[in-house]
Each structure stands twice: as structure tokens, then as C-alpha cells.
């Protein structure tokens, strides 16, 4: 595998994460792929045994590699972040409910923060064995086991030409908006894995991802890596007001605070979605 990023630190991280991908893939083939057959607990949100399993696997991998880093994840949300170190913001499994019911739409994601800024995003689509990755200023890529290819968003002017994914609405006003999207969009896909959907927007498979939950389904830790990939691919992430969604610095807020976001493939897509929000008066 030829590594893409030319800057020294992203190139090192690309190499480091490729080894992590191998360990997660082995765990998937040996254990996780059939996990749903034995999972008896009713999922009520939050962490499960599989989240903890992958979280532990990731931390042990970095320890074994002698990586001098600080890991921020759901397992240590209240700890004091060491900002002098390389910081990995990790979501061990995004799409936990999908995994434990055997629906293949879930990821592991890592956003990298160093010297007071985010520098890289890495999202691993586990069941399909595909990596989405981006380094600031070096573009976004999709990678299989043989090659990496650059990805770009595909902007659209009309909703009828768009492929749209969303987290479904439950509030009456947002249900009205959801109905308008379903009736007008070219295609609708609902995967219940926001990091993957955002990466699909980044790669041109989808044109928009919309969180229609009234209080916000997403947390910074869920979308941090995917946002970096989206921006490097030419897309935008915003609130329903049109204000840009900015990632906060690494802290427990990334894990605990929920927000409602929209990922768009470009300026035209953004304007069309905001027009729909205004028409429905959200």
C-alpha cells in the first residue's frame, strides 16, 4: 500500500492507522461479524460490550506501538486532556445499534488534534473494509486494501437531483420537513450511521445528510473525523440556520453535547436545503 499524505505527521498517522485497520478487521472476521446472534440485551443507547471491546482494542494497539498520544473516548470523558500530546478523539463504534442487530452500517472513527488544531480524520467502514481519510490541506481519499483514490463531493442545485440521507424526525414540524424531503428528493437512504453518511456525501455517493432530530442526535465525537473528510472533499457542515458547524477543542463537551447538523455537498446543495427549511418554517 502506497501512503498518500506528504506531510510528515499525517504520513506517520496514515501508516499507524493502517495497522489498526488490520487489527479491527481481524476482530471483525473472528468475532464481531456474528456478535448480533448472541446479543440479548435490549439496546437503549449509550455504550455496549462491543463499544468497550473495540475501545480497548484501539487503546491497546496504540500502547503496543509506543505511540505517545492521549486518547479521548466515551470511556474517559471526564479526564483531564493532555494538550501537549497528540490527541486522538475516538468513536469506537458509530452505529452500535446497527452492529448488534446485524445491519452492516457502522464505523470506527478517529479525529486527530495537535498543536491547537485538528489535522486529520480517519473513518473505517468495518464490514466493507473501506477507509475514508483526510489530512488538512492534503485532500480526502477512500482506500481499500490495494489503493487510495481522491474523493470529491458532487454539488446539486435541485432537491430532485439529490440523494439524501437523514436521521428521522419525531417532532411534528420536523416530520413535515421530512415528508417534504421524501417527496421531493431524487433518492432517500437511511443508514443510522452519521459518520458513514457524511463520508458518503464526501465521496459523492450522497449529496446531503440531515439530522432531523429536534434536540440533536450527533455529538462532536460522532462526526469530528467525518467532518474533516467532508471539508477536504469540498463539502460543508452547518446547523439548520446555515451557520457553519465548528468542531470544539477536545474535551468532555465533544462527548456529552448533542447537536443537530446538516452535511451538504456544496453551496448549491446547502442553499436548496435551507430553502426547504424556510418554506416549512423550522
* 91: nearest Cα among 50, 127, 119: 50
Cell of 119: 489535522
The response to whether 93 counts as a known ligand-binding position is yes
The candidate with the shortest Cα–Cα distance to 102, out of 32, 167, 163, is 32
Residue 141: in which H helix or E strand, if any?
A: strand 140-143
- Using CA atoms, how far residue 176 sits from 170, 180, 194, 212, 276, in Å, is 10, 6, 21, 10, 11
Was 63 annotated as part of a binding site? no
**Does the annotation place 22 within a ligand binding site?**
no
Whether 222 has a binding-site annotation, put simply, is yes
Q: What distance separates the 2 farthest-apart alpha carbons in the chain? A: 54
263 grid coordinates:
452535511
CB-based contacts of 156: which residues, under 8 Å, 6+ apart?
Answer: 162, 207, 265, 266, 268, 269, 272
What distance lies between CA 226 and its chain's CA centroid? 4
Residue 68 marked ligand-binding = no
Return binding residues. 74, 91, 93-94, 222
Binding-site annotation: residue ranges for Mg(2+): 74, 91, 93-94, 222
Amino acid at each position: 500500500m502506497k501512503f498518500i499524505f506528504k506531510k510528515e505527521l499525517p504520513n506517520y498517522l496514515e501508516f499507524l492507522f493502517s495497522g489498526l485497520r488490520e487489527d479491527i478487521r481481524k476482530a471483525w472476521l473472528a468475532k464481531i461479524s456474528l456478535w448480533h446472534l448472541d446479543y440479548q440485551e435490549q439496546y437503549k443507547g449509550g455504550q455496549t460490550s462491543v463499544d468497550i471491546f473495540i475501545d480497548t482494542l484501539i487503546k491497546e494497539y496504540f500502547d503496543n506501538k509506543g505511540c505517545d498520544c492521549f486518547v479521548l473516548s466515551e470511556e474517559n470523558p471526564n479526564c483531564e486532556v493532555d494538550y501537549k500530546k497528540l490527541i486522538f478523539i475516538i468513536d469506537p463504534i458509530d452505529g452500535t445499534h446497527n452492529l448488534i442487530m446485524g445491519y452492516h452500517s457502522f464505523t470506527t472513527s478517529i479525529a486527530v488534534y495537535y498543536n491547537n488544531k485538528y489535522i486529520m480524520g480517519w473513518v473505517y467502514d468495518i464490514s466493507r473494509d473501506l477507509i475514508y481519510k483526510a489530512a488538512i490541506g492534503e485532500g480526502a481519499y477512500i482506500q481499500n486494501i490495494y489503493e487510495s483514490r481522491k474523493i470529491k463531493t458532487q454539488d446539486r442545485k435541485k432537491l430532485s437531483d439529490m440523494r439524501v440521507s437523514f436521521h428521522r424526525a419525531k417532532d411534528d414540524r420536523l416530520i413535515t420537513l421530512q415528508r417534504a424531503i421524501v417527496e421531493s428528493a431524487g433518492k432517500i437512504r437511511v443508514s443510522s450511521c452519521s459518520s458513514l453518511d457524511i463520508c458518503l456525501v464526501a465521496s459523492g455517493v450522497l449529496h446531503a445528510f440531515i439530522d432531523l432530530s429536534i434536540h440533536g442526535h450527533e455529538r462532536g465525537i460522532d462526526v469530528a473525523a467525518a467532518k474533516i473528510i467532508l471539508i477536504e472533499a469540498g463539502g460543508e457542515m452547518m446547523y439548520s440556520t446555515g451557520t457553519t458547524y465548528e468542531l470544539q477543542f477536545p474535551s468532555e463537551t465533544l462527548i456529552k453535547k448533542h447537536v443537530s447538523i446538516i452535511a451538504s455537498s456544496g453551496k448549491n446543495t446547502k442553499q436548496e436545503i435551507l430553502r426547504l427549511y424556510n418554506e416549512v418554517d423550522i
